[in-house]
Amino acid sequence: HGAHEPPIRKISMTCLLSHESQFEGGDLEITAPGKFAKLKQGHAVMFASFLNHRVAPVTRGVRQSLVMWFGGKPFR
C-alpha cells in the first residue's frame, strides 16, 4: 500500500435523514437478500464495508440518508 494511495474503506455508516412515513421501500440490505435493517429517522447503522449491501428500491416518496466511510490500513 503506497503512501499516496487512498485509505481502504473499512467501516460503512448510514444514517436515515427522512422520516420513515415519507417513503416506502428503501430498506438497507446487508449480506443476505431479504435481511433488512429497518431504520427510523436519526438512527444509524455501522457495518464492515466488505459485507455485500444495497438499498432496496424506493417505491413511494423520497428517502434521504447520510453515508460515511471510515478508512485506514487494510484488515489483516
Note the pLDDT tens digit of each residue in 6-46.
778 999 999 999 999 999 999 999 887 777 778 999 999 99
Whether the predicted model's global pTM rises above the 0.85 cut:
no
**H or E element that contains 12:** strand 8-16
User: Which of 37-42's residues contact partners 24+ apart within 8 Å by CB, and which partners?
Assistant: 39/14, 39/15, 40/16, 41/16, 41/17, 42/15, 42/16, 42/17
Q: Are 45 and 28 in contact (CB under 8 A)?
A: yes
User: What's the CA gap between 15 and 68, in Å, rounded?
Assistant: 9
